[in-house]
Amino acid sequence: MKFFRTALFLLLVSISKTLFAQGTDCYIINNTFKSGEKVYYRAVYNWGFIWINAADVIFTVKDTIYAGENCYYLKSEGWSLKQYDWFYKVRDKFESIVNKDSLKPHWFRRDTYEGGYVAYNNYTFDYNSNNLKINSYTSERKSKLEQFPLKPCTFDVLSAIYYCRNIDFNSLVIDQKVPLTMAVDNEIYDLYIRFLGKEKIIIHKGKTYNTFKFSAMLVKGTIFKGGEDLVVWVTDDNYHIPVMVEAKILIGSVKALLVGVEGI
> Domain map of the chain by residue range?
2-262
204 contacts 257 by C-beta, under 8 angstroms? yes
Residue type, 89: K
In Å, how far from its chain's centre is CA 126? 22
Q: Whole-angstrom Cα distance, residue 249 to residue 218?
A: 11
pTM tops 0.75, yes or no: yes
Q: How far apart are the first and last CA of the chain?
A: 35
Of 56, 4, 36, nearest to 204 by C-alpha is 56
Q: Tens-of-pLDDT digits for all 264 residues of the chain? A: 444 444 444 444 444 433 333 344 566 778 899 999 999 999 898 887 888 888 999 999 999 999 999 999 999 999 988 888 887 888 999 999 999 988 889 999 999 888 888 999 999 999 989 999 999 888 888 888 999 998 888 889 899 888 888 888 889 899 998 777 888 878 888 878 788 999 999 987 788 999 999 887 665 543 444 445 688 899 999 999 999 998 877 777 888 999 999 998
Backbone phi and psi for residue 163, each to the nearest 5 degrees, phi listed first: -60, -45
Q: Whole-angstrom Cα distance, residue 15 to residue 262?
A: 19
Strands 69-80 and 50-66: antiparallel
Question: 3-class DSSP state for residue 35?
Answer: coil
CB atoms within 10 A of CB 162: 23
Q: Whole-angstrom Cα distance, residue 43 to residue 254?
A: 7
- Mean of all residue pLDDT scores within the chain: 83
CB-count exposure of residue 264 (10 Å: 0-12, 13-18, 19+): middle
75 contacts 162 by C-beta, under 8 angstroms? no
CB atoms within 10 A of CB 210: 13
